[in-house]
Structure 1
Amino acid sequence: MDLAFSGISGILIMLFYGIIMLLIGIITFLRNKKVHSSLDEYYLGGRSLGTLVLFFTFFATQYSGNTVIGYSAEAYRVGYANLVTVPFFIMIVLVYLLYAPRLYKLSRKHNIVTPVDWLQLRFRSKAVSMLGAIIMLYALGNFLLEQLIAIGQGVAGLTGGTVPYQVGVIFFITIMIIYGWLGGMRSVAYTDTMQGIALLVGVFMLLIGTILYFGGLPEAGDYIRAYSPENLGVPEGIGLVTWSNFLILVGFGAAVYPNAIQRIFSAKNERALKKSLTQMAWMPFLTAGVVFVIGILAYTAFPDLSVAESEQVVGMMASVIANENIIFYVAMILLFGGIIAAIVSTADSVLLTFSSIISKDLYGRYINPEASDNKKIMVGKVLGVVAVAFLLVIAWNPPATLYQVFVLKLEILVQVAPAIILGLYWKRSHAKSVFTGMLAGTLLAAFFTFTGLKPLGIFSGIWGLMLNLVVYTVGSFIFGTVSSTESAQDMLEENKVPSAQPVK
């Protein structure tokens, strides 16, 4: 048996995961037919997600199927330097713990549904809210486009090319839209749980098979020492600069993904939120760490792969392991099905949050404030599908020029981190300074990215973030006063309408 010709097996597992996702959506709808009656129900699952489901939906947001494929390939290419991916993910959890509990309390007290709701509540500024919404929608659209492309490539790989790239995209996107329409956040969270379990089991089975049939780390280390000794070293000079500023970029940028923030709002209570985040602290070791080890072990299995070939190293290892016995064959088929399901689950959460910002923050706040929740939800659904259709046109034949757009995602998104996080703690935060800093940081990051400039080896997003913070803090010190804006602590302690200096 060989995964390379497992077209029928791939199609069956693809159909299996697709049917499970549809059933989750149907069951969720039948158990809660009021899901479309309120924004809380549809977009936040009624703010009732317990520790286990909340943990897996955070897990699905942070770890996609691309983590397994892409990070293993990177570890194969650069060696032990790629171990830095573990602290990247730890940094994300630390940033969550920095701001999530306080933001959760505010979301319950003030009925916050989207991250833009928080910006509006805190700064009472249309300019800050609109700019924040634009940045978040850009990042979400970018992220969704990546997932659409990954779904097509994953299906084509799983079925050995039997199912073409475009057919795979259409199949899973149609299923995703259906179960998302039926059950909202509950459907998304439950499918996240399914794919999270499948991905974890599959990855550990791949690790076990790799060790059994290719040897462990000592053998891989001996091979690297003999043939690629440069991959045993640690970064120096400019490499350390890249490590440190990428740590900040990923840690703060990924922690303020709008779909991740909505999971904070969806928690049943603060205890469930803290427990799920505490459990997430182990996952960098059990996911990124395991994936790193798999990439290192691939040295002894497939030496001297080119860069393009190394991108397929997980599939190559899984194919060899699957040939050994029926247990590993089934496990590897399930792994690749789980990888595709993981990508779909990432895409569905992105689409749900994308729709919520359109329906709640743009349509509901500025276009038709009198609209019912049901109508807002319907507008979000329809415009979400329109956005997916537009992105599908791009994903159908993705141009190479999209690379810079992909790179720009975190570089731009991290510019909302100061407003979201500092706004929770700093009473002097001044709305005009927040807006100006966010805009200046965004423009600088975009300019550096598209011109290819990287002064001192520092990423464009970090340059933008530094400018953002300088403008924000200096402007707030000069123009802000403790009384000019109601702090997050005030909002928690008092039942009064927040007031901040508006930006017209």
Structure 2
Amino acid sequence: MNNLTFAGIDGIIILSAFAVIMLVIGYFSGRGDKNIHESLSGYYLAGRNLGFVALFFTLYATQYSGNTIVGYAPTAYRTGFPWLQSISFMTIIIGVYLLFAPRLYVIAKRRKFITPTDWLTYRFNSKAVTLLSIFLMLWGLGNYLLEQLVAIGQAVAGMTGGTIPYQVAVIAFILVMLAYEWMGGMKAVAFTDVMQGIILMIGIIVFLIGGLYLVGGNFADVTRYIHETEPVKTGVPPLDVSINWFSMLLLVGLGASIYPHAVQRIYSAQSERTLKHSLARMAWMPPITTGFVFVVGIIGIMLYPGLDKAGSEQLVGLMANDIAAINPFYYWIMIIFFGGIVAAIISTADSVLLSFSSMLSNDVYGKFINPNASEHKKVMVGKVGGIIAIIFLLWIAWNPPGTLYEIFVLKFELLVQVFPAFVLGLYWKRLNGKAVFWGMLIGAIVAGALTFTGIRTVYGFHGGIIGLAINFIICVVGSYLNPASQTKSDVEEDITAIKVKA
């Protein structure tokens, strides 16, 4: 993010205030509640007792990060109106949640699941499926966490005008995150999400209003200008772009819906009614959040014409400087907003880290290394394992690979391969564990090969979607050719017959 020339010491003060507030929330979240530190469900799922407000905002923080502003607006600048797809794939995520979340919640509450792979272990009773799904989910979480670490450094360094260097910014706020998460677990994460979500929502609205003010308040003039100077950004996209758009909708819509930290929020809901109400409100968020950010990027085309790829990555900082110069009100709103962006990035990072450590403690350590370990010991293993993972990712973050958007795309190629096992298993009792394993494995190999060889897309389709198609075919055909045993069929009948409330 471009340095905010208006911020400096004021930015440091606001960031310090946010850090203190987060630490206070973490302290009071964990104070006097032994269950948080002694129980897996207490630490990782807030005791399965998140009410509507906390659940809504922690879902919001899971789906939207400060990265949504810092990364998506530049993409809209470079792509133009075809980037409307960003609103669509955020909407599809909610639709997919509604497809499986209420049903999964009922099963998870009955069977006391902690992590997403608890469901897969119960459904297929296969070590191979469990291990492969753990790897793919940890891969997705690791990439997502790396993305947030890079964004924290860029955002803090930019907001303080370079006073706080990139590396110092990352380390300082990672320590804050580790501290409040260690003290309060999921409860601390959810409560900080409430604060950060409110600031992010208000800030996006004010940022858009300021951007419209800079272009004279008439968005029609912006579209007219773009059509005259860069008509390709307003015209009907060619077939390959449209195919790529559709591919992206599937990749993100299916992949993001099974993020481990998103699934664990489903587990954490106080009730099925609370979950459904939260998801219903989330359905309004794509146009209000991603849609507004898209418009900001489009406005930037008129305000700052001719930026190259590297220059466009600085778009949000450039616009913030100009908005802050309008009057003192905008000045302080921009400082608070960018403090909120940093906090929102951290709120996403803490959710990812919490889920990452839960899978290390419950899935890797608890299922395969020391099944007889106490829950307290598992929690401690998860905390320490999370710190080790952060240290490793920090080493990578010093030299971040590619733009934020490129990092964002990378994680979905493999994560989405878990989708058939995860969702088909909820509805199709015939789905066979062996077919699921080979589908996931071959799909992941195909997706990984296309991604890491630089091919990435074939006729507009992402490697992850090509792998997913192969994955689905293997799952379906393999399940028909190799039906489950009668005993397993009885178990699957029990699972798929579970009813959810209307």
Q: TM-score range by the shorter chain?
A: over 0.9
Distance 1:203 1:405, change over 3 A: closer
Corresponding position of 2:117: 116
Candidates 284, 287, 299, aligned match of 2:286: 284
Letter in 1 for 2:266: I
* Inter-partner Cα distance in structure 1 for 2:405 and 2:198: 31
* Inter-partner Cα distance in structure 1 for 2:403 and 2:292: 32
* Inter-partner Cα distance in structure 2 for 1:487 and 1:286: 43
Shift of 1:193: 1.1
Distance 1:407 1:291, change over 3 A: closer
262-271 or 403-412, which moves further after superposition?
403-412
Shift of 1:491: 3.1
Distance 1:15 1:281, change over 3 A: same
Distance 1:342 1:450, change over 3 A: same
Corresponding position of 1:447: 449
* Inter-partner Cα distance in structure 1 for 2:494 and 2:99: 18
Q: Is the 8 A contact 2:93 2:256 kept in 1?
A: yes
Corresponding position of 1:458: 461
Letter in 2 for 1:385: I
Corresponding position of 1:471: 474
257-266 or 322-331, which moves further after superposition?
322-331
448-457 or 194-203, which moves further after superposition?
448-457
Deviations 1:231-265 (CA, angstroms, capped at 9, x unpaired): 11132211111011111111000111101000000
Distance 1:482 1:70, change over 3 A: same
Shift of 1:394: 1.3
For 1:265-304, list aligned pairs within 5 A: 265-304=267-306
* Inter-partner Cα distance in structure 2 for 1:213 and 1:394: 38
Deviations 1:285-330 (CA, angstroms, capped at 9, x unpaired): 1001111111112233222222222211221111111112111111
* Inter-partner Cα distance in structure 2 for 1:151 and 1:390: 16
Deviations 1:115-149 (CA, angstroms, capped at 9, x unpaired): 01000000001110011001111111111111111
Corresponding position of 2:68: 67
For the residue of structure 2 that corresponds to 1:268, the secondary structure is: coil
Q: Is the 8 A contact 2:428 2:496 kept in 1?
A: no
Q: Is the 8 A contact 1:404 1:450 kept in 2?
A: no
Corresponding position of 1:160: 161
For 1:317-466, list aligned pairs within 5 A: 317-399=319-401, 407-453=409-455, 454-466=457-469
Shift of 1:34: 2.6
Candidates 246, 249, 252, aligned match of 1:247: 249
Identity of aligned residues (%): 52
Unaligned residue ranges in structure 1 (runs of 5+) = 495-504
For the residue of structure 1 that corresponds to 2:5, the secondary structure is: helix
For the residue of structure 1 that corresponds to 2:236, the secondary structure is: coil
Distance 1:488 1:51, change over 3 A: farther
397-406 or 190-199, which moves further after superposition?
397-406
Deviations 1:447-500 (CA, angstroms, capped at 9, x unpaired): 111222332221100111011111111000111248333466613768xxxxxx
Corresponding position of 1:498: none
Shift of 1:172: 0.5
1:227 aligns with 2:221: no
* Inter-partner Cα distance in structure 2 for 1:163 and 1:485: 59
Corresponding position of 1:41: 42
* Inter-partner Cα distance in structure 2 for 1:408 and 1:156: 25
* Inter-partner Cα distance in structure 1 for 2:407 and 2:160: 29
Candidates 470, 481, 489, aligned match of 1:485: 489
* Inter-partner Cα distance in structure 2 for 1:417 and 1:458: 17
Corresponding position of 1:181: 182
* Inter-partner Cα distance in structure 2 for 1:433 and 1:447: 21
Q: Output the aligned Cα RMSD.
A: 1.8
Corresponding position of 1:146: 147
For the residue of structure 2 that corresponds to 1:485, the secondary structure is: helix
Q: Is the 8 A contact 2:147 2:407 kept in 1?
A: no
395-404 or 167-176, which moves further after superposition?
395-404
What's the TM-score once normalised by structure 1's chain length? 0.95
379-388 or 65-74, which moves further after superposition?
65-74
Q: Is the 8 A contact 1:426 1:487 kept in 2?
A: no
234-243 or 370-379, which moves further after superposition?
234-243
* Inter-partner Cα distance in structure 1 for 2:485 and 2:276: 30
Distance 1:405 1:296, change over 3 A: closer
Letter in 2 for 1:490: D
* Inter-partner Cα distance in structure 2 for 1:212 and 1:407: 33
Corresponding position of 2:199: 198
Q: Is the 8 A contact 1:412 1:461 kept in 2?
A: yes
Distance 1:402 1:234, change over 3 A: closer
Distance 1:405 1:291, change over 3 A: closer
* Inter-partner Cα distance in structure 2 for 1:343 and 1:76: 21
Shift of 1:369: 1.3
Corresponding position of 1:207: 208
Corresponding position of 2:27: 26
Shift of 1:6: 2.2
Aligned residue pairs, count: 493
Q: Is the 8 A contact 2:151 2:404 kept in 1?
A: no
Shift of 1:352: 0.4
Letter in 2 for 1:264: I
Q: Is the 8 A contact 1:155 1:163 kept in 2?
A: yes
Q: Is the 8 A contact 2:429 2:496 kept in 1?
A: no
Q: Is the 8 A contact 1:123 1:485 kept in 2?
A: no
Unaligned residue ranges in structure 2 (runs of 5+) = none
Corresponding position of 2:89: 88
* Inter-partner Cα distance in structure 2 for 1:52 and 1:332: 26
Q: Is the 8 A contact 1:156 1:164 kept in 2?
A: yes
Corresponding position of 2:308: 306
Distance 1:347 1:210, change over 3 A: same
Shift of 1:81: 1.1
Distance 1:48 1:323, change over 3 A: same
